[in-house]
Chains A and B, each alone.
Chain A
């Protein structure tokens, strides 16, 4: 049953990825032609973009709900893969190519594998029943529902002063230049943090002598 369903999920995800990359390639080709700088790729509003957005958003929302409501931890990880991949597609649609690639490499390639390893190393608990009580589920559902209703009311009523930046502004060279000039200190701190975390994780998970 699970194998069957995961195959379907994976197939659907791959279809969305294929359509998305094709449409994105078409979109960026259109951007190259359009050099006026005032009309922009995503703002030119092809129906393809709208359809694509709703498909990707549907995959993201369904995957997130699947993470919420699946009991098995491995199924949760599979649903999380769908959510991470569709978020990467959303980054592509927002013309943030580098962030999307990083999302796929670091999240879907690294973090998810780490989580699955964690599941494998901590499974087979002898007496654990990971069932929350009914009142906890209802309390959390009410809180999250109210939160979501408030957020969506707020977001739909807010007036954002939106101007779409040109796609060429988000090239990888610009990101690298900004990382090594304006954001140099956070960049170095992130490097130090990663080293500390590596040492700390190895220390935490070491074998007891």
Chain B
């Protein structure tokens, strides 16, 4: 039976990345687009930790950058959900095609 190597993890990350891109492109709901962004960020995390494990012996750079990635993802989600709620208050929907009006 073959070993599980770096390529296996990278392929899984590629699947998650493509699914996230597809979700971002096809969903009209703003929260759905956020979920797609989360998938893409998770694929990034797999890549970071896998490269850290297989290509940086004794170093922790990939894991630390993965921690910062998770922090940034949490911050981004909090702000984006706030913006979605604000958009819903203004135009009563979170359809991203409807939010085409700028008001100062």
Contacts and interface: CB of A to CB of B under 8 A. Distances in A.
Interface residues of A, number: 90
Interface in B27-67: 27-32, 34-36, 38-39, 42, 45-46, 49-50, 52-60, 63-64, 66-67
Given A106-B70, A151-B14, A201 B79 contact: yes
A-side binding surface: helix, strand, loop or mixed? Answer: helix
A48 B11 CA distance: 20
Interface in B62-103: 63-64, 66-68, 70-75, 77-79, 81-86, 88-89, 92-95, 98
Contact of B82 (A107, A130, A204): A204
Contacts of A90: 9, 12, 46, 49
A16 B17 CA distance: 22
Contact of B7 (A121, A141, A155): A155
A57 B8 contact: yes
A161 B55 contact: yes
A169 B57 contact: yes
A118 B57 contact: no
Contacts, number: 254
A34 interface: no
A164 B20 contact: no
Interface stretch (A5-13, A25-33, A190-198): A190-198
Interface in B2-21: 2-12, 14-21
Interface of B: 1-12, 14-23, 25-32, 34-36, 38-39, 42, 45-46, 49-50, 52-60, 63-64, 66-68, 70-75, 77-79, 81-86, 88-89, 92-95, 98
Nearest to A177: B60
A145 B10 CA distance: 16
Contacts of A136: 25-26
Contact of A186 (B34, B42, B68): B68
A111 B63 contact: no
Contacts of B19: 64-65, 67-68, 144
5 closest Cβ pairs, A-B complex: A204-B82, A64-B19, A165-B57, A140-B25, A125-B93
A163 B57 contact: yes
Given A96-B52, A132-B28, A164-B54, A103 B21 contact: no
Nearest to A65: B19
A169 B58 contact: yes
Given A64-B19, A201-B81, A204-B83, A174 B49 contact: no
B8 to A, nearest CB: 6
